[in-house]
Structure 1
Amino acid sequence: MTSTSTCKIILAMAFVIGCWGYSPTGIHIGLQGYEPGHLALLRFLLASLLMALIAIFKGIRLPQWRDVPLLFALGFFAVSLHHVALNIGQQGISAGASSVLAQSSPLFSTLLARFVFKDRVSIWRWGCVLLGFVGVVIVVSGDKGLGAINAHGLLILLAALSWSLYFALQKHHARRYDGFSLGCYAVWSGTLLLLIYL
């Protein structure tokens, strides 16, 4: 790998980490002017438009009819359910606590891999799950205390579970598509489901 491509990868990673780091704060700001469902719809209308423009120039694999239900399931879990639950949940807890709870999806992914899809999970990965769970408990107890976890916190955990279901379905059922095509169809189908908020 050349130094130019390494630099591009590092810059892309920094951009993604910055966006993810700002996201909970941005959602809190957005919720001051929009309802949770409307904010999710606005975000994904913009994302759908941008991805459509890229798809026009890059090209995209057309979906097979038999895959349409799966693509809508991916859109439901990755876009509709995840973001509406996350937005509603963030109305009741701090941006810091909501960020940690929302990023607990690897914990759910590991549990799904082991108990639903019967994948082997190493001791190392179980240790990481335990460490992640301890981190969630520490942050939540430091925010408002464990007793303060209410329906808003549970909705953010639902969003994390939804995200985990998306990755599990993607891994086990959507190998016929490249990453960009799959991302486009998940975003577009999820956005269609969000149109109820028009």
Structure 2
Amino acid sequence: MKKWQTYLVLVFIMMMWGFNVPALKTLVTEFSPVTITSLRIFTAGVTVFIILAIMKKIRKPTRRESFFIIGGGLLNVVSHHYFLSVGLTQTTSTNGGLILGTGPLLTALLASVILRNRPTVIKVIGFLLGGIGVSIIVLSGGEGLGNLNSGDAMVFISIFSQALSFIIISRAAKTLDPRLLTGYMLVFGSVILFIIGLITEPGEISQLDEASIGIWVLFLASAMLATALGHMLYNHSIGKLGAAETSIFLNLNTFFSLVGAALFLGEKITSYHLLGLVFIILGVICGAGTLEELITKRKRQRFYSKKQHNHHF
């Protein structure tokens, strides 16, 4: 797959994840957050294994790969989803959105420290532009920046866990197919989350039979499309592009969740949101390395045309 095709796939994933936000809001108001999250992720994990079985891609992981699965599952599934679902109930959506917007920058910093993957000046500018775009969108919500509290700390732990898991995924992708890694991580993480749900939300599982068919259709769409297909493709992209370059696309998530809220929950899109989108797109172009590739291509073309010109004379 060519780089631009991977970029298109990532934009499609961000649209799915963005539209998934209003769906998740609906699900966590209908059910207890931790219990329903564990069931949604388990359904996603089973879906991934069904897809991989059709593709004949399932194999037993090695002992070393099992450590990556456990580490990735605990960080990407258990810690990220638990602290996010609990943290968002204790803070404003403005604070939560801004903290989540630091994800790409955190991933780039961790990649440069752990993987010795130093980002270029243009990429750093891209991460900062993306952060500005996310800030414009989130702060234009009118809630204002509330005082930092324990909920904000939980959201930060959630996004830090996810950023750290991307480093593990990029390491594991060298020997284990990232899509298979995704399946193992989702199933393992969901079982741990379900146990946490049984302890923190006792008796809440009895709520499940009270939900309407429409809610269950929403649940399956969220689990099978956004979580299963989305994570499979995203982790596959990490294997192709690297953790930092892939994470810059997460900034688009904020904009698409806004579009989803406008389409499904009747919320308004303002000129501030569109301004934020411009910064996010500029951030993606710089942060994903697209601008650098164009500059290198131009320099190469100029060099060859100059060489041919001199050779002509």
**What TM-score comes out, normalization by structure 1 length?**
0.80
Unaligned runs of 5+ in 1: none
Task: Flag the 1:24–1:150 CA change in 2: closer, same or farther, 3 A.
Answer: farther
Residue number in structure 1 paired with 2:273: none
Deviation at 1:20, TM superposition (A): 0.9
1:134 aligned onto 2:118: no
Question: In the TM superposition, what are the counterparts of 1:1-198 in structure 2 within 5 Å?
Answer: 16-59=13-56, 60-91=58-89, 92-94=91-93, 98-99=96-97, 101-143=99-141, 144-196=143-195, 197-198=197-198
Shift of 1:58: 2.2
Query: Which segments of 5 or more consecutive residues in structure 2 lack a partner in the other structure?
Result: 199-313
**Cα pair 1:100 1:139 within 8 Å, conserved:** no
Q: Which has the larger radius of gyration?
A: 2
CA distance in 2, matches of 1:103, 1:34: 27
- State the SS of the aligned residue for 1:107: helix
The 2-side partners of 1:128 and 1:149 are apart by: 27
- Of stretches 175-184 and 153-162 in structure 1, the one that deviates more from structure 2 is 153-162
- Cα distance in 1, alignment partners of residues 156 and 144 from structure 2: 16
Instruction: Give the Cα separation in 1 of the matches to 2:160 and 2:77.
Output: 13
- Partner of 1:146, secondary structure, is coil
Distance 1:14 1:165, change over 3 A: closer
> Is the Cα contact below 8 Å between 1:86 and 1:102 reproduced in 2?
no
Q: In structure 2, do the counterparts of structure 1 residues 119 and 169 end up closer, same or farther at CA, with 3 Å as the change threshold? A: same
8 A contact 1:140–1:146 mirrored in 2: no
- Conserved 8 A contact 2:46-2:183: no
Shift, 1:122, TM fit: 0.4
Once residues 22 and 53 of structure 2 are traced to their aligned partners in structure 1, the CA distance between those partners, rounded to angstroms, is 32
- Amino acid aligned to 2:187: W
The answer to whether the 8 A contact 1:101-1:156 is kept is: yes
Return closer, same or farther for 1:44/1:50 CA change in 2, 3 Å cut-off. same
C-alpha distance after superposition, 1:87-107 (max 9, x if no partner) = 12232333x764554343111
SS of residue matched to 2:13: helix
Change (3 A) 1:154 1:25: farther
Cα distance in 2 between the residues matched to 1:115 and 1:154: 22
Mean Cα deviation higher: 161-170 or 171-180: 171-180
Preserved CA contact (<8 Å) 1:75 1:187:
yes
The Cα shift of 1:62 comes to 1.5
TM-score (norm 2): 0.53
Contact 2:101–2:131 (Cα < 8 Å) also in 1: no
> Aligned-pair distance for 1:41?
0.5
The 2-side partners of 1:77 and 1:159 are apart by 8
Q: Deviations over 1:122-180 (max 9, x none)?
A: 00111122223333443444442223443323322322211111111111244111122
For residue 15 of structure 1, report the CA deviation from its aligned partner. 5.4
User: How far apart in 2 are the matches of 1:194 and 1:32?
Assistant: 18
Give me the whole-angstrom Cα distance separating, in 1, the residues matched to 2:116 and 2:10: 32
